[in-house]
Structure formats: C-alpha cells, structure tokens
Amino acid sequence: MTEAPLGLLAELTHRCPLHCPYCSNPVELVTRADELDTLTWQRVFDEARELGVLQMHMSGGEPLARPDLPELLGHASGLGCYTNLVTSGLGLTAERLADLVDRGLDHVQLSVQDSDRANANLIAGVKAYDRKLTAARLIKDAGVAFTVNAVMHKANLDHIGGIIALAEEMDADRLELANTQYYGWALRNRAALLPTREQLAAAGPVVRRAQERLAGRMEIVYVIADYHEANPKPCMYGWGSRQLTVAPNGDVLPCPAASVITSLPVQNVARSSLSEIWYGSETFNAFRGTEWMREPCRSCPRKEIDFGGCRCQAFQLTGDAAATDPVCTLSPDHGLVQDILATEIVETRPAFAMRRSV
C-alpha cells in the first residue's frame, strides 16, 4: 500500500545569486515569468498538508529571491508543518530572518562551498564567503536549528577537515558533507568535479574521526561518492515513497532531478491535485515497490535496501529509467561507470562551466 509523503521540497524559484558548477537543477531553468504565484503555492501547501506532509522545505535556487517568502513560510507553518529554509545566505538580513522566525521558521540549511575563502568564492562564482559567515552568525543569534551543507568534489575534498572546522566555528547543529551527484548542470561539469580514489580514501577517516570527536555536539552526515561505490545509493529511499518535489513552475516530481527522465509524463499542480499525482499518476507509480524491477535487481537480496539505485541516474546513463543503476557492480551496464572513472578523472582539473542564473 502506498503511504503518504512525509516531506515537500518546494522549489520556489530557480533564480540564484550563486553560479556553482555542481548545481543539480536542470540545464533549462524555469524563468521568473513561469514561477507559481503566491496563492497557488499556498494552495499547493494546503494540498500537501491534506496529503499528510509534515515537513516543508523552502528551496530553490535561492528562496530569499521571492519577496513573498514570509507569506509562504507563514502559511506552511500555520498548517502545523515543520519549516526549513534552504539558502545560500545571500540576501539574509537580521530583519528578514526575524520576520521569518516570527512566522514560524524552524530550521535553516546554509550552503558553504569551501573553508578556503578564495576557493569558496571561485566555486560560488561570486564573493560569497564572508557573507556566509555573516549569515551563520544571524542564524545562530536567531536561535533556530542550523545545518551547514557542503557539496564535495575534486576542488574542495582535500579541505574536508577545514570545512568541518568551519561548521564548528559557525556552531552548526548538523553538517552535511554530500559528495556531488551528477544531475542537471553538474553532469556537464562531471570531469571537473569527479574526485580521485585517493582523495576519497583520505577524506573518509577525517570524517569518521570528526564524527567521533563531535558526537553529541554536531551531527555529521557524509553522503558517499556513488560512482566509486560497489552498491548504488538508496535514492529517495525508493521512488515515490517519502517525499515529493514541486518545481518553480508547478511540475510535481518524485525527486528533484526527475525532469531528466523524459520517458515519463510530466505532472503539474495546474492540472491535478497533489493527492491525485501522488497516489494515481503513472509517473509516481512507475518505480514504486519492487514489482517493476528486472534482473539482476528482481532476485537481489539488497532490493529493499537500495531499491535498484537511482532512476534518474539509470536513465541518464543508459536511456532506460527501469534499468539497474549502472553504479551497481551487478548491473550489465556497470562498464559505463568504469569507463567514466577511467577517462574523466584527470590530473589537471578542467575549467568549471559556471551556472548562469535566469
């Protein structure tokens, strides 16, 4: 039986002041003219709550680019939901944050690009580092729960200890160190982002020692670099099982990257309710449970652990969203990943293709 979703990722806008090469938003961004308006977002939040959603993540792009963010966040909080602001920190002021807290903001997730100022600014494509230090102080002063998120790749993995120290200085409650996932814009930059095995081998013990040292003070979550792993990641804990994403134009997706799967119909809040989409749509039912699986997943003892891996990755690499994730060593397509690792990991990092905003 299909259970209700726990969370809604509301991508309020694709507009963003940063230009990060690892951005996993689609190559074609939604323009401001095509963004949902305030009333439609509020209706979407109503439908999400009726569906059972308890956590609303205001994301983007940069959600602070929406002047109606306070109304939207207040509406979500008024429905009894836990609210999370996922932000670059650029555009955050003491006044704006106090207003959001007044309206029920529970948690802020702040991105950082590196602990080295020059390198952080290079990766962000803008002088963002010092503004993030300021944003972190504002968030701590406001007293809301605070997560720092850093996307890890070839150009910052060697600084992982410094990034942990930066999060400690910021006094974060939680640190997410997430190796890059190659979707959307990030796929274009894969050769510039893929770390070496030596970099990953050196980073692992640094993270484990910090996890032990900081236990009870700052939780550290480390998201593995899946191309280098033997088993695929349990993407989204299974397709259409826990969370749904609404893109800035109202497209409803089983995961933030699912617009890459062009073989599935696109759902939109203008045409159907969230409940119809979650329970009844072809797109959300396509890979639920284990019945859709073929071999080697169908008879695999790990099929309820990793759910066949990532559907978006399977589609991107093989053209078939129902294929076993090629990251899995049992996949008949695993050679594709081995070829990528053999050819794209190079000594000198290629230049980044920086993200341009809409």
Concatenate the DSSP letters of all residues of 240-309 into one string: TSSEEEE-TTSEEESSTTGGG-TTSPPEETTTS-HHIIIII-HHHHTT-TTTT--TTTTT-TTHHHHTTS
Strand pairing report for 267-268 and 251-253? antiparallel
Of 151 and 312, which has the nearer Cβ to ligand FES? 312
Place of tokens 């002021």: 93
Please list, in sequence order, all residues whose beta carbon lies within 8 angstroms of the beta carbon of residue 238, skipping any fewer than 6 positions away: 288, 289, 307
Of 253 and 300, which has the nearer Cβ to ligand FES? 253
Shortest Å distance, C-beta 313 to ligand FES: 6
Q: Is 16 annotated as a binding residue?
A: yes
Please list, in sequence order, all residues whose beta carbon lies within 8 angstroms of the beta carbon of residue 299, skipping any fewer than 6 positions away: none
Shortest Å distance, C-beta 260 to ligand FES: 8
Q: Is 20 annotated as a binding residue?
A: yes
276/226 Cα distance (integer angstroms): 33
Shortest Å distance, C-beta 135 to ligand FES: 28
Binding site for ligand FES (CB under 6 A): 183, 235-236, 255, 257-258, 310-312
Shortest Å distance, C-beta 26 to ligand FES: 12
Nearest to 131 by CA among 23, 11, 17: 17
Side chain identity, residue 205: P
Shortest Å distance, C-beta 96 to ligand FES: 31
Of 81 and 312, which has the nearer Cβ to ligand FES? 312
Strand pairing report for 145-152 and 107-112? parallel
Shortest Å distance, C-beta 261 to ligand FES: 8
Q: Report cis status (omega within 30 of 0) of the bond before 296.
A: yes
Q: Is 23 annotated as a binding residue?
A: yes
Nearest to 46 by CA among 67, 75, 86: 75
For the annotated binding site for [4Fe-4S] cluster, the residues are 16, 20, 23
Which residues define the annotated binding site?
Answer: 16, 20, 23
